[in-house]
Amino acid sequence: MIGPTVISVSWETVSSLATAVGTLVLAVATFSSVRSANRSARVAELSLMAGLRPVLVPSRPEHPAEWVNFADGYAVELAGGQASAEEVDGIIYLTMALHNVGSGIGVLHGWHVDPARAVGDPGHADPGDFRRLSRDLYVPADYFGFWQGAIRDPGDPDREPLRRALEAGDPITLDLLYGDQEGGQRMITRFRLLAEVGAGEARTPDDPKIRQPTVTRHWNLDRPDPR
């Protein structure tokens, strides 16, 4: 006759297993909590960055006009939605009225001009090749401002192509480099400065230096492009 089986229980082993299970549960809970906190922090960061992000486009005709002055005394009055390009005494002056449609202050960093660049060219110059501004220019969020630049050096390689474009009334491609007030979220926006102005028809403006700006492309430099 076979007697009953006696099962010996090691309470030390049971205690170790219970401790291991508890540790595993705590680790899973901690991991989930950390992941959730990281996700929340990322959402908050994206929301903060969006609140600082500028986006520059040409201003509209109904926006107010303003005077753009250069250090050498040259000045031009820009109506809303206008740009200008003019050679005076061998110096080429360029200006453009801007509207910041983003939610953060736009800080202009530099510019690059190329009369020969095609409309469909997807590339832009290296940011290190952009011309630095000689003065700080800011465009407030959802407000108006301007950009200005000049080519003064007779030996500047961009001067002669730009001068020929002015004489012929050809379009001028202008890239602006800018970012937010913290120095980040850099963008390049491409503008075309057209000699013909007027809605629905091409005509020569009364003032030959006045041009119509239009935006053709935006690039993000510090984050992926949204396309």
Q: What is the pLDDT of residues 122-158, one digit of tens each?
A: 688 999 999 999 888 999 999 999 999 999 999 999 9
Fold of 53-220: Immunoglobulin-like (2.60.40)
**From CA 106, how far away is CA 137, in angstroms rounded?**
8
pLDDT at 102: 94
List the beta strands (DSSP E) in the chain: 56-58, 66-69, 75-78, 83-88, 91-100, 106-114, 131-132, 138-139, 144-151, 172-179, 187-194, 210-220
pLDDT at 116: 74
**From CA 57, how far away is CA 143, in angstroms rounded?**
11
For the stretch 75-126, pLDDT in tens is 999 999 999 999 999 999 999 999 999 999 999 999 999 887 666 666 889 9
pLDDT at 200: 43
CA distances to 8, 12, 27, 49, 208 from 21, rounded to whole Å, are 22, 14, 10, 42, 81
Query: How much is the pTM?
Result: 0.77
For the stretch 47-83, pLDDT in tens is 555 668 999 999 999 999 999 999 999 999 999 999 9
Maximum CA pair distance of the chain? 123
Domain borders along the chain are 53-220
Q: What percent of the chain has pLDDT over 70?
A: 71
Contacts of 93 (CB under 8 A, 6+ apart): 70, 74, 76, 84, 85, 86, 87, 148, 149, 150
